Structure formats: structure tokens, C-alpha cells
């Protein structure tokens, strides 16, 4: 059993080892190893387009994950008290949002938005008060955030709803019996119970958006996210720079995960210690 687990971990980490090894390649061609050097790390960090792409990816991931967590949680809370047709309609929407492949979402968003923008832009030009200053709608940050937010919001609704279903209802009743305001009950009873769900939803949403290539490929317009940059570079023939970027992203996420885990565990210990 242990040997089997070891083998699976080897399978998972061997390619990552290859990436890390080639990121230390001194030569230009990724397929020929020409001695060790850390120069590509410096080059990647000094490359303004890598940094720009990273900034775009982080912004899009952060904004779309925040909006998805907020609106998704609101919808999950409201859906508790909704029955009948609205409920069925929402369930169907969430089901479809989760099930339709990313590539179809990307394509559909592209052609729908391009078509709508082609209608709206001439109208905007006519009705805009200052001549020649009318804003021109186009694909970019907005479409990226909106398209990423769609899938992740559905995810948040599902996760938070599961959390609400598993919640201890007697506490809410008790709180109401003690004359707490509905908002007070929400803040002090409901929110702490569903918070881990919201956090999990946020983290998943962030990861999804940060790692997404296929939707962004269609809807990014002139923006370049990190995966798009990497894809375009790979077609140019990979330099060890790309491997260096991959290794750094991996290192950073590992550090964040371990940090989060340590904080969580310490928090749990403290909570455990102070409990009566």
C-alpha cells in the first residue's frame, strides 16, 4: 500500500521535477541541457510582460473570486426561502453553469459579446453627449471577470448551500428566542457556521480563475493572462524562462498552502484550549 502511494506521488512529481530541472538550464533551447544557471529566474522576473500577465491574472482571479463568493453566498442564503418555479429555475441555471464545458462558455461568450458590442457601439456613439468621446465596448478585463465569475459563482452556491444544509438550526431558533435581531443572528450564528464554506468557495474560485486558459483564450480580448502568455510562449519554442515561471508559481502556492495550514492548525489548537 505504501509503495503504491509512493509510486503515485512519484508519478505526480516527476514532471514537476523535470520542469524545475530545466528551469536551471543555462542554454536557450529547452530541449538541450547546457549546464546550470539561475539566470532564467532573473529574466522572468525582469520581463515586463510576465509581470503584466501575472498582474492581470491576479486581478481577474481576485475580483471574480470576491464577486462570486459575495453574490454566490447571497444567492445560497436567499434560495433557502425560495420555493416553486424560481427555485427550479435557479437550480437549472446552476446545473447548466457547472456542466457546460469551459470551451463552450468561452466561445458562446465571445460570439454573444462581439455581436452585442457591434450593435451597442454605434448606438453609444450616437447618444453620447460629447462627440467622438463615446466609450467603445470591447473584450477585456470585464469579459474575463464576468466569464470566470459564472462558473465559480455556481460553485460557491453549491458549496455554501451544502454548508447551510448541514447547519445546526436549533442555534438560530435559540438566538431568535433570545431576541437577537435577524442581522445579529446572521452575524453571530449563521455566518460563523457557513464561513468555512465561503472560504473554500473563494479559494476554489481563485484557483480556477488563475489557472484557466481556455475561457480566457476566447474572451480576454487584448489582455494577456499568465496561462495565455505561457501558451503563446510555448508555441514560440519553450525557453527555460517558462519553466522558471512554472516553478515559481508552484513554490509560491506551496508556501501559501503550508502557511494557511499552519495558521488553521494553530487557530484550532487555540480554540480547543480556550473552550470550557
Judged by CB under 8 A, the chain residues 146 through 175 that form the site for other proteins are 146-147, 149-150, 153, 157-158
**φ, ψ for residue 212 (rounded to 5)?**
-70, 130
According to CB under 8 A, which residues from 179 to 198 bind other proteins? none
Nearest distance from residue 29's CB to other proteins, in Å? 7
Closest-CA residue to 154 (of 232, 80, 234, 72): 72
**φ, ψ for residue 29 (rounded to 5)?**
-85, 130
Nearest distance from residue 176's CB to other proteins, in Å? 14
Contacting residue, 45, 63, 66, 108, with other proteins by CB under 8 A: 108
CB of 207 or CB of 276, closer to other proteins:
207
Does the footprint of other proteins cover residue 201 (CB under 8 A)? no
CB of 214 or CB of 276, closer to other proteins:
214
Q: Give the three-class secondary structure for 36.
A: strand
Piece of the chain touching other proteins by CB under 8 A; list 132-140, 167-175, 192-200, 268-276: 132-140
Contacting residue, 59, 190, 193, 207, with other proteins by CB under 8 A: 207
Does the footprint of other proteins cover residue 199 (CB under 8 A)? no
- Write the burial class of residue 70 (CB in 10 Å: 0-12 exposed, 13-18 middle, 19+ buried): middle
Nearest distance from residue 267's CB to other proteins, in Å? 14
According to CB under 8 A, which residues from 83 to 102 bind other proteins? 86, 90-91, 93-102
CB of 29 or CB of 128, closer to other proteins:
29
Contact 55, 140 (CB under 8 A): no
Closest-CA residue to 156 (of 78, 224, 257, 67): 67
Burial 136-156 (b: 16+ CB within 10 A, else e): ebebebebbbebbbbbbbbbb
CB of 189 or CB of 223, closer to other proteins:
223
HSE at residue 23, side-chain half, CA atoms within 13 A, is 21
CB of 270 or CB of 276, closer to other proteins:
270
What whole-number distance in Å separates Cα of residue 200 and Cα of residue 203? 5
Piece of the chain touching other proteins by CB under 8 A; list 127-135, 136-144, 169-177, 192-200: 136-144
Does the footprint of other proteins cover residue 139 (CB under 8 A)? yes
**Non-local CB neighbours of 188 within 8 Å, separated by 6+ positions:** 175, 180
Alpha-helix residue ranges (DSSP H) falling in the chain:
2-23, 39-46, 48-79, 84-99, 102-127, 141-165, 169-177, 182-185, 191-211, 214-219, 226-235, 240-274
According to CB under 8 A, which residues from 45 to 64 bind other proteins? 48-49
Site string (5-44) toward other proteins, x via CB under 8 A: x--xx-xxxxxx-xx--x---xxxxxxx-x----------
Site string (210-249) toward other proteins, x via CB under 8 A: -x-xx--xx--xxxx-xx--xxx-xxxxx---xx-xx--x
Nearest distance from residue 133's CB to other proteins, in Å? 15
Amino acid at each position: 500500500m505504501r509503495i503504491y502511494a509512493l509510486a503515485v506521488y512519484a508519478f505526480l512529481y516527476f514532471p514537476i521535477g523535470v520542469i524545475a530541472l530545466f528551469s536551471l538550464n543555462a542554454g536557450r533551447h529547452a530541449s538541450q541541457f547546457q549546464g546550470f544557471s539561475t539566470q532564467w529566474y532573473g529574466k522572468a522576473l525582469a520581463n515586463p510582460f510576465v509581470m503584466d500577465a501575472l498582474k492581470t491574472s491576479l486581478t481577474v482571479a481576485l475580483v471574480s473570486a470576491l464577486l462570486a463568493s459575495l453574490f454566490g453566498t447571497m444567492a445560497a442564503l436567499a434560495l433557502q426561502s425560495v420555493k416553486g418555479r424560481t427555485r427550479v429555475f435557479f437550480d437549472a441555471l446552476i446545473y447548466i453553469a457547472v456542466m457546460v464545458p469551459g470551451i463552450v462558455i468561452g466561445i458562446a461568450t465571445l460570439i454573444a459579446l462581439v455581436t452585442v458590442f457591434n450593435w451597442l457601439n454605434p448606438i453609444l456613439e450616437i447618444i453620447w453627449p460629447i462627440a467622438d468621446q463615446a466609450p467603445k465596448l470591447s473584450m477585456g478585463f470585464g469579459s474575463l471577470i464576468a466569464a470566470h465569475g459564472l462558473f465559480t459563482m455556481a460553485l460557491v452556491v453549491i458549496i455554501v448551500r451544502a454548508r447551510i444544509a448541514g447547519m445546526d438550526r436549533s442555534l438560530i431558533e435559540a438566538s431568535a428566542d433570545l431576541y437577537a435581531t435577524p442581522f445579529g443572528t446572521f452575524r453571530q450564528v449563521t455566518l460563523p457556521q457557513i464561513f468555512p464554506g465561503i472560504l473554500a468557495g473563494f479559494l476554489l474560485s481563485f484557483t480556477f480563475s488563475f489557472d484557466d486558459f481556455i475561457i480566457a483564450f476566447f474572451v480576454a480580448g487584448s489582455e494577456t493572462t499568465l496561462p495565455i502568455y505561457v501558451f503563446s510562449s510555448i508555441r514560440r519554442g519553450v525557453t527555460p524562462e517558462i519553466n522558471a515561471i512554472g516553478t515559481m508559481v508552484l513554490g509560491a502556492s506551496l508556501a501559501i498552502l503550508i502557511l494557511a495550514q499552519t495558521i488553521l492548525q494553530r487557530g484550532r489548537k487555540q480554540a480547543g484550549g480556550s473552550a470550557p
